[in-house]
Chains A and B, each alone.
Chain A
Amino acid sequence: MDQIKNPTVASMEGDGYYNRNSAMQAAGIARILPIWEKVAGTVPVGDETLVIADSGSSQ
């Protein structure tokens, strides 16, 4: 057992590789899109600029 921390958390593979090879992730996302659409329709909106945050967006 090594107690030294490894802080090197890297991003996804670049140059579009992740986008081309994320079928598994895409399947999971596709499954919840109807829920997402319903959720998005419940948010109260005023006169302000509409802001959507995509946290951990990758490419």
Chain B
Amino acid sequence: MAPMRIAIAALRAKSAAGRTVEVIHTDLPSNDFASLFQALGEEPDSYMKGATGVFPSAVGRSYFEPIIAPGTVHLGWNSWTLQWLSNNPIEVSDHILAGLSESETAKNAVIQQGALDWRDFIAARSSELRPGARLLCLFGADQPDRPSWDWPFGELWGAVVDMNRAALLDERELLRMTLPLFSRTLEDIKAPFSQDGTFRGMAIEHAEVASTPDSFWPEYEKTGDAEHLGRAWAAVWRAAMGPTLANATNPDRDRAALIDDLYARFAKRIAASPRQQEGAIAVVIMRKTDDAVSPPHRGQA
């Protein structure tokens, strides 16, 4: 809520008071938009609290193609989604992330999909932004030659393997549990802009990959409660990845029970070997140039 509230105030500060503002929320069609609009109406920190002339709406489509009218957006915000790929290019049997597999083929498949998705995303947003508009993106990333998220994903894979050994997940399900995630490096982020500093009418104003603090570690250091640490990690990891992993199980399964079991095992593994997570995030700010750009076609950015 805070990013939208800040954006509304900043744009209105540059124009007449009470200026009409449209806020367009987009996500996959399966997103729980009902909860979003409930939060907008009820949460104390909602940007709609006491607001007049602000009109929220939603688009239920994948953002890897243009989904908002061309040349209309002043400010674009995107947080914690671009580590997700548009689809899973390959499945592996030795890790929950193909990018952390021993297979070079798998690693390359993920890198290629990540590069394609990044270009498609930028091109699609470029078509929606007005000249001079800005787009800020925040997402899980990697430092060069140093995976940043290998510990929690390694423990999640360990939980999957535990369930496979206990005959609770079959071999096919284990394969399908390859998560379509990819952590870009700064080099990956800058690659489309390498020729002349622009790509599809967008220019990078700021790009960095920086470490992000472990939200749970300070409390663990204070309490020493490893089980609580495990449950905290499980809740966050389940919130983001639970539905995708549930879809990887056979349709005739009790999917909710399997995912309960999986994250209980994950929590136990975290509690058994607690450590401070050294994650990395990318922060990228792009500006739409004045150049006219024709709308992109998917995969041809």
Interface of A with B (CB < 8 Å)? Answer: 1-25, 27-33, 35-37, 39-45, 48-59
Contact = CB atoms under 8 A, between A and B. Distances in A.
A45 B8 CA distance: 12
A25 to B, nearest CB: 5
B5 to A, nearest CB: 10
Contacts of B281: 28
A1 B134 contact: no
Interface residues of B, number: 92
Interface stretch (B153-161, B192-200, B240-248, B264-272): B240-248
Nearest to B214: A24
Interface in B107-130: 125, 128, 130
B132 A43 contact: yes
Interface of B: 2-4, 6-8, 10-15, 19-28, 30-33, 35-36, 38-39, 58, 63, 68, 72-82, 84-93, 103, 105-106, 125, 128, 130-134, 136, 138, 175-176, 178, 180, 205-206, 212-213, 215-216, 232, 235-236, 238-240, 242-244, 246-248, 279, 281, 283, 285
A24 to B, nearest CB: 5
A37 B77 CA distance: 11
